Amino acid sequence: MAEVRLYKSVWQGIKVILAGSFFVVPAIYFLNEEGTEKWIHWITIGIFSGCYLLGLYIIFDRRPHIIISEEGIYDRYYGRKIIPWSIIHGANLSEDGKICLFMEASYEPARGKIFMALNDFEKELGFQDLNLSNLWVRADKQKLLTLINTLRKANPKTRKDILERGMK
């Protein structure tokens, strides 16, 4: 089966670590200074040191994040279900770079209770039902959108050829 696999970018993990360092390093410096409140710096170190853990997780997690196959699209963020091509009616690129999928109203991806509550809130705000979480992957978003729209419109027999050409 032909498929395109998109993995998390190592550079995104490095960026998260550097962003956390902008807060942790000054907090360590001011921790050694006299006349400062030490507890504020310890809280800052405790909170922003989580960026190191998140960054390391992003760097070493080598499972595919998004898989585009002949059957549909799999996004690890939405659980273990493949979104079939038959229910995808369209896709577009939002202003912040997310790929929004327009689908049948009856389809709901497998998510937990918190995500379902957030989904209701997002619908009230006017957002799309499902956005591909392509923030962490390193791919040309316009080429990815073109591939999704091409596969959505394609005959199931020709999808394999389209995927073998991929995002070249």
- Asked if residue 81 and residue 55 are part of one domain, the reply reads no
129: in domain: yes
Token pair for residue 60? 């070493």
* 24 shares a domain with 99: no
What pTM was computed for the model?
A: 0.77
- The one-character DSSP state at 8 is B
Same domain (yes/no): 85, 146: yes
**Do 115 and 80 have their domain in common?**
yes
Instruction: Kindly give the confidence (pLDDT) of every residue in the chain, 168 residues in length, as a single tens digit, with 9 standing for 90 and above.
Output: 788 888 888 999 999 999 999 999 999 999 888 887 889 999 999 999 999 999 999 999 989 988 899 999 988 877 768 888 888 888 888 777 788 888 876 666 655 566 666 666 666 665 556 777 777 787 888 888 888 899 998 888 888 888 888 655
> What are the tokens at 151?
């596969």
Tell me whether residue 2 is in a domain: no
Verify that 69 and 146 share a domain, yes or no: yes
Shared-domain flag, residues 40 and 107: no
- Do 23 and 103 belong together in one domain? no
Q: Are residues 99 and 117 in the same domain?
A: yes
Residue 101 lies in a domain: yes
Distance of CA 32 to the CA centre of its chain: 39
The reply to whether 27 falls in a domain is yes
How many residues in the chain? Answer: 168
Statement to judge: residues 79 and 159 lie in one domain: yes
Domain match, 40 and 11 both: yes
d(CA 148, CA 99): 10
